[in-house]
Amino acid sequence: MLAGCAVQVAQSRGRVFPEPAHAYRNDFQRDRDRVVHARAFRRLEAKTQVFTRRYSDHFRNRLTHTIEVAQIARTLAGALGLNVDLAEALALVHDIGHPPFGHAGEKALDAAMRAQGLYFDHNLHALRIVEHFEERYAAFPGLNLTFEVREGIIKHSRDYDAKEFPELAGYLLDQRPPLEAQLIDLADEIAYNTADLDDGYEARLLNLEQIMAGVPGFEDFYREADQRYPGAARKLKFNEAMKRIMDRMVGDLIANTEACAQEAGVATIEQVRAHPTRLAAFSDEVEAARKQTKDFLHRNLYYSPALASEKEDAERIVSGLFAFWMDDPDSLPRNYREKAKLEPLPRVLCDYVAGMTDPFILDQYAKYCGR
């Protein structure tokens, strides 16, 4: 039984191209499976999350990060009585629009587009992927996902203004997204904050003393683990502390979201959509801890000198290839040359570069721009 404010699959607004019901999977389960089988989803395995493979094959990439977000999203949705199938589909598709080289690659691609009077937005690019670029079915273009999944792709992490984005007018921009979609951005925060601490510690770019001083609650949790498992290795005690931090964030998000909905008198999906603000949220205390942890990671990891050269390489490679093809579009593959006859060249280049994996863009840069 789902909560009254959950999205009921039977009440879905459906697909752009109507399809008959499946014998043993509901529509959100089919969406989940279509995402998993998409080429763009597979490419996430070779896209940087924070660390390239120069450090280790053990660290997260976009794909493993996405799987962790999906696990957290399922837990959150299940505990709140929401639609787990929808939450899982949204979690699996939430990063599908990211370019190679993590945030450095995204920054460089956006800068290249802005120099042409355009921009890059990974949510909107993800929508283009599932609506147009994936070619798997003879009956329709794209993946033909349900309205609720397509809406969640663009609205899970931000609100778009209909005046600024008229092309999105059909996605109820004057309304809040369902709770299943609201949870995805927060599940993403939980996943990458804890994972980046873990990978940063494994990479020896963060030490135990730094984390104890900078991450709220970590020292207390680590001391508890030390008392309970005095003979355990430091890394195992670290793992115990990280497990407790994740559990605190997940448990708080469940309890606080439920309390916010009750306080607002929200009991139906229509009321969720009509509410002036998003209802999925951490408590004030945990939100403050989340912000402090994120600030700690920005200061000590994301902008650390050890990663600076990789960020510089990423920006040089993305911007260099983009500039090369702007000057010499005849060097593009034939299908992209054909697309450039129908769409602006910068948009075609953006679509091409954004879809590349880290190894492929490195090969392309070596081929066209030199090493």
Of 260, 277, 307, which marks where a domain is finished? 307
How far apart are alpha carbons 194 and 218 in whole angstroms? Answer: 11
Count other Cβ atoms within 10 Å, centred on residue 159: 13
Q: Does 92 lie in the same domain as 211?
A: yes
Q: Which domain holds residue 345?
A: 317-369
Q: Does 324 lie in the same domain as 293?
A: no
- What is the average per-residue pLDDT within 115-132? 96
How far apart are alpha carbons 349 and 279 in whole angstroms? Answer: 38
Asked, for residue 13, whether it belongs to a domain, the answer is no
pLDDT tens digits for range 231-269 = 999 999 999 999 999 999 999 999 999 999 999 999 999
pLDDT tens digits for range 10-24 = 999 999 999 999 999
pLDDT on residue 142: 97
Q: Does 230 lie in the same domain as 92?
A: yes
pLDDT on residue 58: 74
254 or 303: which carries more pLDDT confidence? Answer: 254
Question: Does 277 score more than 90 pLDDT?
Answer: yes
pLDDT on residue 48: 86
Q: Indicate the DSSP class of residue 301.
A: I
User: For residue 234, which amino acid is it?
Assistant: R
- How many structural domains does the chain have? 2
pLDDT on residue 281: 98
Mean confidence (pLDDT) of the chain: 95
309 or 181: which carries more pLDDT confidence? Answer: 181
Contact 237, 174 (CB under 8 A): no
How far apart are alpha carbons 178 and 182 in whole angstroms? Answer: 6
- Residue 140 CB partners (closer than 8 Å, separation 6+): 16, 17
User: For residue 189, which amino acid is it?
Assistant: E
Question: Does 340 score more than 90 pLDDT?
Answer: yes
Instruction: Count the alpha carbons within 13 Å of 205 in the hemisphere toward its beta carbon.
Output: 23
User: For residue 295, which amino acid is it?
Assistant: D
Contact 245, 221 (CB under 8 A): yes
- What is the average per-residue pLDDT within 207-227? 97
Q: Does 202 lie in the same domain as 102?
A: yes
User: For residue 166, which amino acid is it?
Assistant: P
pLDDT on residue 186: 98
Q: ∠ at Cα 93 (192, 11), nearest 5°?
A: 125
Q: Which pTM was predicted?
A: 0.96
pLDDT-derived band of residue 1, with 50, 70 and 90 as boundaries?
confident
How far apart are alpha carbons 205 and 51 in whole angstroms? Answer: 11
Q: Does 285 lie in the same domain as 216?
A: yes
Instruction: Count the alpha carbons within 13 Å of 248 in the hemisphere toward its beta carbon.
Output: 19
Question: Does 337 score more than 80 pLDDT?
Answer: yes
Asked, for residue 133, whether it belongs to a domain, the answer is yes
Q: How many helices (H) and strands (E) does the chain have?
A: 17, 0
Asked, for residue 115, whether it belongs to a domain, the answer is yes
Contact 279, 182 (CB under 8 A): yes
Q: Does 323 lie in the same domain as 303?
A: no
Q: Does 302 lie in the same domain as 324?
A: no
Q: Does 322 lie in the same domain as 261?
A: no
pLDDT on residue 54: 63
How far apart are alpha carbons 70 and 27 in whole angstroms? Answer: 18
pLDDT on residue 53: 61
Q: Does 180 lie in the same domain as 35?
A: yes
Asked, for residue 5, whether it belongs to a domain, the answer is no
pLDDT on residue 133: 95
> Long-range contact list for 70-79, CB < 8 A, 24+ apart?
72/187, 72/190, 72/191, 72/250, 73/183, 73/184, 73/187, 75/250, 76/183, 76/186, 76/187, 76/250, 76/253, 76/254, 77/180, 77/183, 79/254
pLDDT on residue 49: 83
Of 276, 307, 338, which marks where a domain is finished? 307
- What is the average per-residue pLDDT within 99-127? 96
Q: Does 339 lie in the same domain as 232?
A: no
CATH of the domain at 220: 1.10.3210.10
Q: Does 268 lie in the same domain as 204?
A: yes
Minimal CA–CA distance to 245: which of 184, 201, 179, 299?
201
Q: Does 56 lie in the same domain as 77?
A: yes
Contact 2, 59 (CB under 8 A): no
pLDDT tens digits for range 40-98 = 999 999 998 887 666 666 788 999 999 999 999 999 999 999 999 999 999 999 999 99
pLDDT on residue 52: 67
Asked, for residue 77, whether it belongs to a domain, the answer is yes
Of 280, 307, 334, which marks where a domain is finished? 307
Dihedral angle of Cα 185, 188, 194, 198, to the nearest 10 degrees: -150
Q: Which residues pair with 61 in a beta bridge?
A: 48
Contact 190, 246 (CB under 8 A): yes
pLDDT tens digits for range 145-200 = 999 999 999 999 999 999 999 999 999 999 999 999 999 999 999 999 999 999 99
Asked, for residue 126, whether it belongs to a domain, the answer is yes
Asked, for residue 1, whether it belongs to a domain, the answer is no
Contact 368, 324 (CB under 8 A): yes
How far apart are alpha carbons 371 and 365 in whole angstroms? Answer: 7
Asked, for residue 340, whether it belongs to a domain, the answer is yes
